[in-house]
Amino acid sequence: MRHVNAYLLPLDIYFHIWHGPYMHEKLINDLGGYQWLAAQLKLKPNRVRMWKVRGVAWEYRNTIARLATERRVVLPIGFLEPQAA
């Protein structure tokens, strides 16, 4: 998915990207890409790249939230909240 300016998107499309299946992909891209994030977390890039599809692993979400704060990237709604069982 290419990075697009959210201000140019209709609200329903923006909502789908940020709150739908692509929210983790957008977050990773906004942070600097999967290779940058993998280097920060000392992980293999392929593992982080798969988070774009499967979602960010829970064990790394607090660290990613800290990195997002440092880089002034907004977290998706519910990113740090455990999923309902």
The tens place of each residue's pLDDT in the chain, 85 residues long, gives 455 555 554 544 444 445 555 789 999 999 999 999 999 999 999 999 999 988 899 999 999 999 999 999 988 888 888 764 3
- pLDDT of the residue at 63: 96
Tell me how far apart the alpha carbons of residues 49 and 53 are, in angstroms, rounded to a whole number.
Answer: 8
The answer to the question of residue 82 being in a domain is no
- In total, how many domains does the chain have? 1
The answer to the question of residue 11 being in a domain is no
The answer to the question of residue 84 being in a domain is no
- pLDDT of the residue at 10: 52
Which long-range contacts does 33-37 make (Cβ < 8 Å, 24+ apart)?
37/64, 37/67
Match 């998706």 to its residue by tokens.
76
Q: Which of 32, 24, 43 is nearest to 67 (CA)?
A: 32
Domain that holds residue 63: 22-70
- pLDDT of the residue at 43: 97
The answer to the question of residue 17 being in a domain is no
| Helical packing angle, 23-31 and 11-19, nearest 10° | 80
The answer to the question of residue 6 being in a domain is no
The answer to the question of residue 53 being in a domain is yes
